[in-house]
Amino acid sequence: MNEHLKILILEDMEEDVELVRRELIKEKLSFTLYRVDKKDEYLNGLVEIKPNVILSDHSLPQFNSVEALEISKRIGLNVPFILVTGTVSEEFAVTCLKNGADNYVLKGNLSRLPSAIINALQQKTTEKNRKMAERALHKQNKMLVKVNEELDRFVYSTSHNLRSPLMSVLGLLNISRKEVQSEDYSRLLEYFDMMQQSIEKLDDTLKEIVDYSKNARAEVKIEKIDLNEIIQECIDKLSYLEGAREIKKEIFIDGGNIIFCDADRLKVIFVNIISNAIKYRDNNKKKKELNITVRSYPYKTSISIQDNGIGIFPTYVNKVFDMFYRASDVSTGAGLGLYIVKETVDKLGGKISIDSEVETGTMVEIDIPFGVRSTK
């Protein structure tokens, strides 16, 4: 026990304090003794000295150990309280222990005091550690419950989003079968087209789920990136989408074409936002535009992607980053797209915001710190 102890001793007899001091010195304890013998002194001592140990005589002129123990508990000072007293009945000693005293030592047997102090301190430490472990466990448990709830929600929503197109295919198969049985083949091709649409929708959802899981699991990998190349790659990848070629795309790069970032994650961000700009283009506009601006600074990269599409209603703008939220009937996926973008930007330690006006267009702005590190 190397810790320096602040010992508050409640004792009216100066000689008894000296006896205690001698015993503690004998055992080479490092300590300071603070003697008090009145209630207000005791209270002050508890608050100002914040002792590690309290030693208390049983009866004092205006005060007694039962009250002293009660006060120390009420103050919330969880330190060993040891009764140091003349002869007491066994019954009295038991009562004291029951009330929460940690030990009692008879003045006639003071050589027991040092070990009583050390043991009580150890016990308190163990107790404190146990409580801390309990609290940590409780916290962890709460977190697990939350994660489980999220997982439940995820499973149900995903199963729904996977089942929907499957059930459409099944429904179309039922209709086709009945028509074939009655030798009516006229609409089969139409049904095949719809089956294909449903299957593609299912595939979109599956891809979103894989993106989601990839971002959640994989470590951030920083590499040298050619911005122009990566943006062009994302645009090419999406050129099969209906309407993709009608949109005039402009890329503007300022402050250097090379940045250091996680290429896969950057692609997920660009692909999702650009595909939104394509899906939600405004067919009433003759000139459909998509402007991608990237500015790299020494400490961050700012990306702004602006379209002149149909825009988002003000009521939905704040919800577009929510999991499984779909703000429009045009949406074909599971409502994970922008949620994944948000999660990915988070993982890169960046910030994302969206600004939109119905019939005018949407602007997504992203800031990613330079040389990002995983925040999760």
Partner 1 sequence: MNKNVLLVDDDKICNFITETTLNKLGVAKEVHSALNGQEALDLLNSYFLGDVAVPDIIFLDLNMPIMDGFQFIDAFKKLDFPKKDNILIVVLTSSINPNDVQRAKSLGINNYMTKPISEEKILELLKD
Strand duo 59-60 + 53-56: pairing: unpaired
Phi, psi (degrees; rounded to nearest 5) at 152: -55, -50
Sites for partner 1 among residues 10-69 (CB under 8 A): none
Phi, psi (degrees; rounded to nearest 5) at 318: -70, -15
Copy the structure tokens of residue 149: 């709830």
Determine contact, residues 7/32, Cβ cutoff 8 Å.
Answer: yes
Residue 178, interface with partner 1 (CB under 8 A)? yes
Of 191 and 297, which CB lies nearer to partner 1 in the complex structure? Answer: 191
Sites for partner 1 among residues 299-338 (CB under 8 A): 316, 325-329, 331, 335
Q: Which long-range contacts (CB under 8 A, 24 or more apart) does 311-318 make?
A: 311/280, 311/282, 311/356, 311/357, 311/358, 311/359, 311/360, 311/361, 311/362, 312/354, 312/356, 312/358, 312/362, 313/358, 314/358, 317/354, 317/355, 317/356
To partner 1, the closest distance from the beta carbon of 194 in angstroms equals 5
To partner 1, the closest distance from the beta carbon of 323 in angstroms equals 13
Q: Which of 6, 5, 10, 12 is nearest to 67 (CA)?
A: 10
Of 134 and 152, which CB lies nearer to partner 1 in the complex structure? Answer: 152
Copy the structure tokens of residue 352: 């994302």
Identity at 79, one-letter amino acid code:
V
Q: Mask of contacts with partner 1, 74-113, x by CB under 8 A?
A: ----------------------------------------
Of 158 and 272, which CB lies nearer to partner 1 in the complex structure? Answer: 158
Of 187 and 248, which CB lies nearer to partner 1 in the complex structure? Answer: 187
Tell me the residue ranges of DSSP E strands in 223-285. Answer: 223-226, 247-254, 258-261
Sites for partner 1 among residues 141-170 (CB under 8 A): 156, 159-160, 163-168, 170
Task: Give the gyration radius of the chain's Cα atoms.
Answer: 37
Task: Give, in order, the Cα–Cα distances in Å from 270 to each of 117, 265, 345.
Answer: 66, 9, 11
Contact window for partner 1 (CB under 8 A) among 70-78, 130-138, 191-199, 255-263: 191-199
CA distance 290 to 275: 11
Residue 258, interface with partner 1 (CB under 8 A)? no
Determine contact, residues 337/272, Cβ cutoff 8 Å.
Answer: yes
To partner 1, the closest distance from the beta carbon of 167 in angstroms equals 4
Of 119 and 164, which CB lies nearer to partner 1 in the complex structure? Answer: 164
Residue 174, interface with partner 1 (CB under 8 A)? yes
Of 302 and 332, which CB lies nearer to partner 1 in the complex structure? Answer: 332
Of 126 and 159, which CB lies nearer to partner 1 in the complex structure? Answer: 159
> How many chain residues bind partner 1 (CB under 8 A)?
26
Sites for partner 1 among residues 192-231 (CB under 8 A): 194, 197-198
To partner 1, the closest distance from the beta carbon of 101 in angstroms equals 54
To partner 1, the closest distance from the beta carbon of 320 in angstroms equals 11
| Residues within the interface to partner 1 (CB under 8 A) | 156, 159-160, 163-168, 170-172, 174-175, 178, 194, 197-198, 316, 325-329, 331, 335
